[in-house]
Amino acid sequence: MSLSNASIDLDVYRQHVKTLASDEFEGRGPLSKGEEKTVDYLVTQYKKLGLKPAFGDSYTQAVPLAKITPSNISSLTIGDLNFSAGSEFTARTQRIVEEFSLADSDVVFVGYGINAPEYNWNDYAGLDVKGKTVVMLVNDPGFASKDPNLFQGNAMTYYGRWTYKYEEAARQGAEAVFIVHETMPAGYGWGVVENSNSNTKFSLVDDNNNSSQVGVMGWLHLNAARQLFEKAGLDYGELKRKASKPGFTPILLNTKASLSFTNSIEHAESQNVAGILEGTAKPEEWVMLHAHWDHLGKVEKNGKTTIYNGAVDNASGTAGVLTLADALAKREEGFARTLMFSAFTAEETGLLGADYFANNPPVPTSNMVAFLNIDGMNVNDNVDYILQYGEGYLSIEDDLATAAALQGRTVKMDPRPQNGLFFRSDHFALAKQGVPSILFMSLGDTDPSFIAKRYHKADDDYLPSWTLGGVKQDLSLIGSMLTYYAQGDVWPYWKRESDFKAKRLQALSGSETNVK
């Protein structure tokens, strides 16, 4: 398991990241001129490297999206309280409707909004929330209590993710959801919430125009939440303590919520991009390297244009995939298995491109050996460790430790397990389909100011001062793992009992693949 540092051409890398993060690419927003430039650039690079199309005779996979831009957002009225859009709450919908109105909807505090049978936890037990507005806490009870026997203690589970909370509320029949924002359990400040939810968003569209989803996918600023509970005669801190213990009972706030906004809706197709280096002996078995190409695009506000170039997030990862493809395509002896190099769309709006790919794959998921995902590289000096996200999930973790040791590095566990980063990037869409998947991320790890000052902000720009020492060592490590999987017979497997493992075993049940 080795790939020489000398194989990693940092001049190639620097040119890719500098180009992708330039103003010319307009922040790589899906369904924009920036997307056209990005997809054309990627396809051109794949062809130059001699990669074959991954989707039949095409390098692209059309992902049908609705581009939804909210406007005319009213204040959020709850009883006689009025909250301002942007500064005190955000609200959007993925329903394909031009006008949305929430009128006199009963408000219920549902703790963490979790229904998790395996943890014997149901915040909706005995409660009918059909048509109601539910207010809930971010993250999960394990983080709040720090009890290692509750959920997974300080490490966020999928039940703590905002995506899950909206999904579960929809299953329960709620009309609107407002998640109370707190910086520590969320993992980011209010500015990230506002930037990510107040502008154009994208959605996959089902046969019923997403009518089964919640009407309002909202966030509530902590100060606004405190006012809401105080008005109801409740103490927010005490509510949090109660909600973090088994047996919590939802609380009717005896007030009603109203809100309205309009949507501008555009139906269009965005593009996933992928090329393959075909295997010589087992071309039907695919080993995959990926980075999402999209970012937040550009925003016109008050006569000013702001471009969110997303240099670290994730031009750095996209450039990394291209650079490794360049290094591995030059290998004279080739690989037994097929290597796929990909870049998907709409990660920033909920892993949409990855979700579409995972449900419409070019080969069966049972043929997918492993999915390695880069989302934000260490563009600074090299370090003596590699970060690992999630613990005890996969045998890939053991392979990561081996590859790190060969570089004289150690594995450092995610320093912010409460943020649930394992569930927040494209690999998770594949993991939900059972494919063994791993995340390589260094967002802010070697730059403590990054999350506060540049993450999802206009200042995430390419800097000529980047030393790229971390890029070189990480691409060498990732390349070593790709080589190990692509030239051998190993099949990574799930260790922990989970829905992911069950899905994998189900997918493999009809195949002859010998995996655990």
Asked if residues 126 and 112 have their Cβ atoms less than 8 Å apart, the reply is no
pLDDT one-digit tens code per residue, 313-339? 999 999 999 999 999 999 888 999 999
The CATH number fitting domain 67-265, selected from 3.30.450.20, 3.40.630.30, 3.90.1640.10, 3.50.30.30: 3.50.30.30
DSSP string, 52-100: EESBTTBSEEEEEEEEEEEES---EEETTEEE-BTTTEEEE--S--SEE
pLDDT for the residue 421? 87
Q: How far apart are CA 481 and CA 396, in angstroms?
A: 9
pLDDT one-digit tens code per residue, 5-57? 558 999 999 999 999 999 999 999 999 999 999 999 999 999 999 999 999 99
Structure tokens at 464: 């000529």
- The mean pLDDT of 144-157, rounded to a whole number, is 88
pLDDT reading at 245 higher than 90: yes
Name which of 217-231, 350-364, 494-508 the model is least confident about: 494-508
Q: Which residue spans of the chain are classified as CATH 3.50.30.30?
A: 67-265
Q: How far apart are CA 492 and CA 224, in angstroms?
A: 46
Q: Which residue spans of the chain are classified as CATH 3.40.630.10?
A: 10-65+270-513
Residue 135 CB partners (closer than 8 Å, separation 6+):
107, 108, 109, 110, 178, 180, 220, 225, 228, 253
Q: pTM value?
A: 0.84
- Please give the CATH architecture assigned to the domain spanning 10-65+270-513: 3-Layer(aba) Sandwich (3.40)
Q: Between 497 and 16, whose confidence is greater? A: 16
Task: Give CA 444 to chain center in angstroms.
Answer: 16
In 131-226, the DSSP E strands lie at 133-137, 176-180, 201-204, 216-220
pLDDT one-digit tens code per residue, 467-496? 999 999 999 999 999 999 999 899 999 998
pLDDT one-digit tens code per residue, 348-371? 988 999 999 999 999 999 999 999
pLDDT one-digit tens code per residue, 435-449? 999 999 998 889 988
Q: Between 113 and 333, whose confidence is greater? A: 113
pLDDT for the residue 4? 57
- The mean pLDDT of 121-127, rounded to a whole number, is 96
